[in-house]
């Protein structure tokens, strides 16, 4: 039989289709990579309970303390505290209940249909993608996409527990979810929302997202409700009674009270289990960061993470790692000091109760991250700047502030802290904008701000300190621009 010739175009199409089929993994391969990426199946199975504590940020500056407790196979308890009152929503594996004291309801009551669907989903201890077939979930790969310039795989999963349909967007490199959309039907009405995940950190050898935002589909991060977990602990001894609906009038035991007396659970720590071997097609997370260079990022624009949209120009910034958490303080030229405890995912104002809101300098004590110095008065002088009234100090991470002097400085451009003796602090003072002033210069305190002395003055009353830096390896060596 004579073979008919194949055109070059047809051959190219066949080869391209074959290469594409090889390049795109199956849904099961993506899920396997996801599980491996966050610790491996063995470590995930070793996690028997989880407690998450942190803060909730809603619209209009609303803030609450939240604590969620989870226990296998499908139990959850969520506490929500604000205004001195604590509410609870829980699921014991069979039914859900709640206590909402804000309306004067102190006794537990059963959840409605919509609330039950939500709490059943929250109670899923493992991600619905893991072991989806055994759990009766349906998963399909529906294609690829991009989320803010990141290539992603899209997986659709239909939950057997409550009928919800989730669409996952998993990073194409790490196969870790960066967001998912939820389609939920309640009494015939379809509702859609989305959840953004981020700030993944390791806890006992397993990666958890320490930040997530929830809101309407298509809404921006700033429009979503934000959860910032400050602490996640695994394999605590959480009593089953925590999830059971209490009797009317029973005392509400908070998560903090329960944790103080609960023994640790028995069994191996997840971190004691060897991690799964990394295949050649799946690079470890640490290796991914090494592949990012100037060519990778040259086409990316800067993304505003706040808080300049609320407070004008950002004049100062300092940050510190506290364990696995990155804490950031931002000084705004006309909007006070803002604090983030999750690496910039969310911010809250911490300087609103002070008399001035123009900030020129921020410095975190290198020995004690709860101690922060703030120099007030924007240093970028022109006809629209605001005045400051000296230098402030907090010793409780921004909860309260004390004016430590230099009240006539009007503006402070820089604050430096001696890393050896942190009671020694220097302030760079440009001085008044429109007139001569003998308050210009470099000031020093050796007693934590109780007293100050001018250690460098300009040649005349019109010359102040424009900027200042320190050799931290030899902190007695400083350089100042005048």
Does 6 fall in a domain? Answer: no
Same domain, 232 and 353: no
Does 280 fall in a domain? Answer: no
Of 223, 244, 272, the domain-final residue: 272
Does 57 fall in a domain? Answer: yes
Same domain, 232 and 371: no
Does 282 fall in a domain? Answer: no
Does 264 fall in a domain? Answer: yes
Same domain, 202 and 327: no
Cβ atoms 192, 183 nearer than 8 A = yes
When pLDDT is cut at 50, 70 and 90, the band that residue 20 belongs to is very low
Among candidate residues 261, 270, 274, 197, the one with its CA nearest the CA of residue 234:
270
Does 298 fall in a domain? Answer: no
DSSP letter (8 states) at residue 384: T
CA distance linking residue 165 with residue 154, whole number of Å? 13
Give me the chain's average pLDDT, please.
84
When pLDDT is cut at 50, 70 and 90, the band that residue 419 belongs to is very high
Here the CATH number for the domain that contains residue 467 is 2.130.10.10
Same domain, 372 and 440: yes
How many folded domains does the chain comprise? 2
Same domain, 140 and 54: yes
Q: Which domain holds residue 221?
A: 24-272
Cβ atoms 368, 396 nearer than 8 A = no
Among candidate residues 398, 266, 384, 267, the one with its CA nearest the CA of residue 330:
398
- Residue-level pLDDT at 312: 61
Here the CATH number for the domain that contains residue 34 is 2.50.20.10
Same domain, 115 and 228: yes
Hunting for tokens 């294609």 — which residue is that? Answer: 143
Same domain, 325 and 242: no
Lowest model confidence (mean pLDDT) among 12-26, 62-76, 133-147, 459-473: 12-26
Looking at mean pLDDT, say which of 18-22, 273-277, 426-430 comes out highest: 426-430
Does 4 fall in a domain? Answer: no
- Residue-level pLDDT at 82: 87
Cβ atoms 378, 315 nearer than 8 A = yes
Q: Three-state SS for 185?
A: strand
Does 289 fall in a domain? Answer: no
CA distance linking residue 249 with residue 385, whole number of Å? 57
DSSP letter (8 states) at residue 12: H
Q: Three-state SS for 13?
A: helix
Same domain, 192 and 329: no
Same domain, 266 and 323: no
Of 245, 272, 299, the domain-final residue: 272
Same domain, 320 and 401: yes
Hunting for tokens 């008399």 — which residue is that? Answer: 355
């Amino acid at each position: 039989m004579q073979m008919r010739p194949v055109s070059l175009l047809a051959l190219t199409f066949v080869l391209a289709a074959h290469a594409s089929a090889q390049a795109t993994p199956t849904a099961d391969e993506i899920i396997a990579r996801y599980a491996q990426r966050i610790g491996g199946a063995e470590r995930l199975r070793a996690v028997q309970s989880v407690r998450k504590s942190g803060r909730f940020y809603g619209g209009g500056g609303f803030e609450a303390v939240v604590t969620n407790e989870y226990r296998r196979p499908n139990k959850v308890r969520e506490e929500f505290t604000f205004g001195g009152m604590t509410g609870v929503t829980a699921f014991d594996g069979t039914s859900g209940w709640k206590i909402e004291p804000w309306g004067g309801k102190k006794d537990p009551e059963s959840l409605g249909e919509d609330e039950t669907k939500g709490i059943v989903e929250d109670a899923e201890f493992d991600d619905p993608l893991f072991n989806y077939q055994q759990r009766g979930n349906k998963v399909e790969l529906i294609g690829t996409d991009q989320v803010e310039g990141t290539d992603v795989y899209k997986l659709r999963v239909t939950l057997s527990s409550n009928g919800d349909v989730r669409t996952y967007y998993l990073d194409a490199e790490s196969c870790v979810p960066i967001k998912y959309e939820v389609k939920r039907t309640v009494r015939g009405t379809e509702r859609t929302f989305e959840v953004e995940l981020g700030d993944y950190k390791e806890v006992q050898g397993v990666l958890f997202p320490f930040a997530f935002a929830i809101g309407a589909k298509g809404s921006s991060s700033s429009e979503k409700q934000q959860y910032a977990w400050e602490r996640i602990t695994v394999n605590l001894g959480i009593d089953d009674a925590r999830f059971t609906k209490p009797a009317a009038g029973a005392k509400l035991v908070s998560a903090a009270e329960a944790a103080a007396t609960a023994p640790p659970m028995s069994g191996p720590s997840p971190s004691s289990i060897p991690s799964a071997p990394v295949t050649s097609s799946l690079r470890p997370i640490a290796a991914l960061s090494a592949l990012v260079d100037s060519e990778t990022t040259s086409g990316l624009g800067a993304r505003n993470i706040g808080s300049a949209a609320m407070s004008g120009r950002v004049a100062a910034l300092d940050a510190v790692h506290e364990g696995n958490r990155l804490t950031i303080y931002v000084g705004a030229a006309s909007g006070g000091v803002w604090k983030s405890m999750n690496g910039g995912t969310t911010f809250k104002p911490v300087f609103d109760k002070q008399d001035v809101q123009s900030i020129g300098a921020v410095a975190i004590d290198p020995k004690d991250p709860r101690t922060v110095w703030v120099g007030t008065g924007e240093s970028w002088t022109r006809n629209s700047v605001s005045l400051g009234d000296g230098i402030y100090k907090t010793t409780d991470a921004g909860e309260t502030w004390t004016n430590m002097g230099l009240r006539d400085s009007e503006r402070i451009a820089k604050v430096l802290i001696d890393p050896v003796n942190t009671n020694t602090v220097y302030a760079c003072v440009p001085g008044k904008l429109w007139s001569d002033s003998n308050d210009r210069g470099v000031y020093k305190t050796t007693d934590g701000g109780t007293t100050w002395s001018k250690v460098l003055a300009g040649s005349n009353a019109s010359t102040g300190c424009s900027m200042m830096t320190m050799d931290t390896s030899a902190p007695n060596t400083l350089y100042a621009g005048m």
